[in-house]
A and B are shown apart, each in its own frame.
Chain A
């Protein structure tokens, strides 16, 4: 599948934003946010909403008819894309209410309840995003049990790295967030390896013979309907050389997960905590963009079979 820049930005930026919001919500729900430093929560909520907005705006740029984008909120009964839109919009008032409740009384029942609601809402939005891809039956690399939990894990990982950097900037130390971020990096790394192992061992979804209704025989493509690339081939016939994919996978694991893991451990010791957490944040962002590019670039679509392309 063609990795469009707008979708890469959407899924990674909202991952950082909603991931951070999930951690802020969890901290507020447990009453762990220090009430003497309200700036941490307020700056966190602001940053999270800015990142989410950047992602959502990027997704609007993916649309051919941007002026009709409002229509995407209407079909939440059947469409995960519509549900994502509705959930993403509902998060804003929730997060702002959490900030207000925290400023009034950091330990109140309202703060805790709104924290829990923010946690559930942000993870729910990420889940909707993941299900857009996981529900597409023609793409075997997406339509599997890995996609949804993986997206949640990457959002929690990116949010943890961002929260650790923010907490260090505000309070001088990452506190427990350094260990949490390191743990999330390890889990995300493990999940990514498990996902790659899964898609590498998966057989093709269908054969060309079954695609043309002759499942008993064998078939090979003789003549294509047209000589130049068309919309279907540009979108769904995207093929990445195995050699490049292997190199990018190593890069994603190293930069995206291994380096942030080491840096968060350093920050937790604490060795130059601010530099470490900021570097970890940068590495995670670059690594996750590569990871997301691969999520699209390595995905194959059954329709490409008709043109004799590998799926």
Chain B
């Protein structure tokens, strides 16, 4: 069937900010869909509140709206754009929920907008648990026993009919927020109350626990001719009871016979038909009782999901792209498989490798939260690894996580861990359980025992046991030879160098006597099992580089295999590779063929991605990497992407000329470099991950383009940097760097408290603190040193009450373009990633702006930056202090690009490849007619018990953007985007610390003028009353009669302004902030934030917000500087 002709304009809804449970996979799917639909000639209107996405680049859609994702705003966009159809199945749960509300509110009918992919009834049937259960039973499938509850009373009744443990799942939420497992009535009441609260329709499902069963997922696609295919099967290593997003998962399913797999496949086909998903992808989860094979259906997502992104990357089958084409009328057999080019999309990919996905947690950011896993998702990112065996893929995944492990290694000596602790860590699912399985094996615990404790299938435990056993062989039979070998090789290399005959590294086989030839085979086998050079180096007490050199001299080199959807049955064209240790290298073959065909010498640039998302390093960096690739392609370079994050656009095989799905470690990156031999490597776009590799790559002779490694080092090295700043005559807060506790204390007492203490070479303010006295400093220092790993700990004088400013600029070595100056809304001291900021600055004087630009220029030129540069300044009493200089892509680069229409990353990439700023028509002096506000989105609701106060350690997972003509409106929009909309009326609670008390009066008066009523705690109330402001007093303690907590719980408070008091413990306010999170009351913790909020409230009371597309905002300007 050809494409539909009854629709011309399609509205696509994105998924908003990166939050736990919804990450950049929806940027990937949305971008794919936009591209596919525009290819078909449709006009695309896109809306997303997240500026760090590729999809919100103005060239991806025809009209791009960065506006809040809620029904009211989308309706305004529909009213303005009049699309014929809406495609809600590619923007995660957010888009689906909004589409449902638009439908319920009659908006779609009013404007005659069709729903593509899945209509209202279908979504309802799949999402509403009762409807879904009925559908499952109707097609003869099984479900866990369950019942619904809307009140606590109903929940208690349910518990009496079904046996504990019980699972509680709220209906209509993201990533299982508010769910849990209850083992007794007490737990049930707690969890059910929370669940009813967080459910959009105040409903929870109470269900027979199938905890410990095996968990599977199938990715299904259907077209309008009722053709259905399974794209991929996924088996979870972690059993039922742990959210899939937090589980280690494997593709394809490993322990199902064909009969069981086909039964699951048939069930999926029956379900997608019964639910009635017309076209597109769905994801269906199953649980299987390991004792008898009883299979039950868990749930179904009638949309593209995190798992479909994973399935796409795992198989090479682009689910989102095809889903988009199916939605507009094509059938599966009418779409060609891009990879084979000769076979249609109506097939089921078959793979000849094993894929392992591992979740990335950031519990270290929330020390108060336990790293225990359950049905509510906690991980912030993931890495995927491909190997020829599970063992290889698992070890690659573990080193790809970048959590300090080089594989399934021995970071902790198992002998030092008490048995009881191991038992506990095995029994209670947690973030490091996989390592405890190994410790248990090292303690000679049986596979059965471990399987029983963990409820993980013995197949997986045995695979891990094989790694552990082989490690034993390496330790006993290989390490000695490795030592001898590396020594021999070093000697030989030295001799060769002296003779000037440095050949290919020579042969280090001298250490291998004839009968010891086995050693070579053991080493080869070790590599096949995924042992990294770093792991082997630690075991043999030699350097990683030495292992690498030895290995290469023995001919043990990584080989690359292609991901081709068909297990080599057909010739594949799409260049997507993974490394393994086999006999044939397909990347080499492909490169030879390309060279033969090329008319001109090939020019290649390799871009190192950012690895798994984490707090501090997320989609913003992937955004930059993608742009580097696009920009360099335009210049005629072949681009090569290396990354390990399956959620991203950068790991779409369409993004670069060749994609290597590899962990971002020195070893894995070097393997690719040796095969590709790129002319240059870009390390400054992928965040701290590739930057940390820069030095070693440089030392290994790799050509790093852009800012030199020496300059990067200068910016990171405190002492060098301090003298650099001094030489330029600029100001810096007093500081020092220290390697010991003694030095730290000395520096702190020299420069005076408060100080900002932090480790070096980290991103996202990891383990960064403002410390007010020596005692706290002592406490903190331990952690900082751990995180710093041999690098010095940095101590800065903390400048209180300063305005912080972020600057993004591009430098070509000769001139500088200051792309954006962002004024933080919160004072210095709050991590720039967590702080809201506004562009252009709204309270800084023109002369200061000029001075900031001037300082930026001097720093950039003198640091010899080629490419992007980010500087953080603090302004106090008219003086400008340089806080930090980062000669790399910054978290704010995409925001600045969206705010100004200048594609920073693109320009920077081309400059790194030799262009000059003068090649682009850029002007700093244009005044923007609009204001952009970036607001961060915090994951506190996921981590119970964590205080929500912001500080120098970054905690946010994502960001949103509000654009409008005034600051107030832009700020108010940003708050709506961040799901903390400011109230237009009602009651506001104000409680501020002593320092803020004198400033609050003015604010309070304005709020009264705006017809709000105020409540305060005793201290603040006194100040307000003395200023003539009417205020009600409440008790902040729970015991009090008229206490704040009760008011919050009764939803009587609409906004909380609470600034914490310095270093003092704020335990009573903590409970209030926690309650605010729970009841979704916006909570402002800084005075500056409060000012901005009042501004925003005023703007929202003034008039209804209007919506405007990016193209409209800066159409002319954008065209002018199109690259």
The answer to whether A and B come from one shared complex is no
Report which A residues bind B (CB closer than 8 A).
Answer: none
The chain B residues found within 8 Å of chain A, CB to CB, are none
